[in-house]
Amino acid sequence: MRGSLSLRAGLLSVLIFAAFIGAWQFATMPTTGAAGDVDPEYAALVSGAAAQGAKSAFPTPADVGATIWGHLKDPFYVRGANDQGVGVQLAYSLGRVLLGYLLAAAVATPLGFLIGMSPLVYRALDPFIQVLKPISPLAWMPLALYTIKDSGISAIFVIFICSLWPMLINTAFGVASVRKEWLNVAATLEVGALRKAFLVILPAAAPTIMTGMRISIGIAWLVIVAAEMLVGGTGIGYFVWNEWNNLSIGNIITAILLIGLVGMALDVALGRAARLVAYRE
């Protein structure tokens, strides 16, 4: 029965996709309007749609498919500093995200641990964390550029600051809500503080910590596109911005799909890692 369910789900997915493409194709069908009395000299200077008095049209699925294929065929070309393949751009973005994210993890986990162990500190820091958590990455950007004075490091800083909070909060929460019984057992057995932290609290809090990490990587990946659109230079966000300049919807859709796929891959990877540390009571 399970097999047939996933089969049916798969079938439904394909149907939804086909319906979407069909609707898209229908909506972008080229209207063969009466071109008629257009000055050929004028028509040569503008796009096809503009020559007929219309705005340039949204590309059809076939156009976008061709664009995507063009990018996938040659993802790693480098034609100058401002024109590099999507593969190269994704690599730049991933590098930034991982660096900022790992820095955040290195800070958030130990800090969250300490905060979670002490109810006093937990309460004292809570208002700060609550205020800083919802700040948009782009709001940090001018401040970062102004103080750090380096756009590359600023982008990494923004990733860091935005992926810090979910990890911090989840770690602290996980540590604070370890079951009292287990701590009492550890106390009865006179386990040392360090041993207690690593053998009792860490395994107990690990699933919550991993959830925080999973949320964070999602946020980091969301943030990088916005940050790169703002500072430019390299990365998939810059690629989107650069193609926006050129109003090239096909290229933008390609980038959107790639951003989605990479984000999904990151999420799946963290999900797998979370399963490794899960336990059953």
User: Contact residues for other proteins (CB under 8 A)?
Assistant: 38-39, 41-42, 44-47, 49-50, 53-56, 79-83, 142, 145-146, 149-151, 229-233, 238, 241-247
Residue recorded with tokens 């659109």: 229
We find the least distance from the C-beta atom of residue 56 to other proteins, in angstroms, to be: 4
Cα–Cα dist 228/141, whole Å: 10
Cα–Cα dist 162/216, whole Å: 8
We find the least distance from the C-beta atom of residue 54 to other proteins, in angstroms, to be: 6
Q: Where are the alpha helices (DSSP H) in the chain?
A: 2-27, 40-43, 48-51, 61-73, 86-117, 119-132, 137-148, 151-176, 180-188, 193-195, 202-231, 236-245, 249-277
- State which residue, 165 or 241, has the beta carbon closest to other proteins: 241
Length of the chain: 281
We find the least distance from the C-beta atom of residue 119 to other proteins, in angstroms, to be: 43
DSSP 197: I
Task: Find out whether 214 and 278 touch, Cβ atoms under 8 Å.
Answer: no
- State which residue, 48 or 119, has the beta carbon closest to other proteins: 48
Residue recorded with tokens 């050929």: 40
We find the least distance from the C-beta atom of residue 88 to other proteins, in angstroms, to be: 13
- State which residue, 213 or 230, has the beta carbon closest to other proteins: 230
- State which residue, 128 or 146, has the beta carbon closest to other proteins: 146
- State which residue, 6 or 246, has the beta carbon closest to other proteins: 246
We find the least distance from the C-beta atom of residue 10 to other proteins, in angstroms, to be: 37
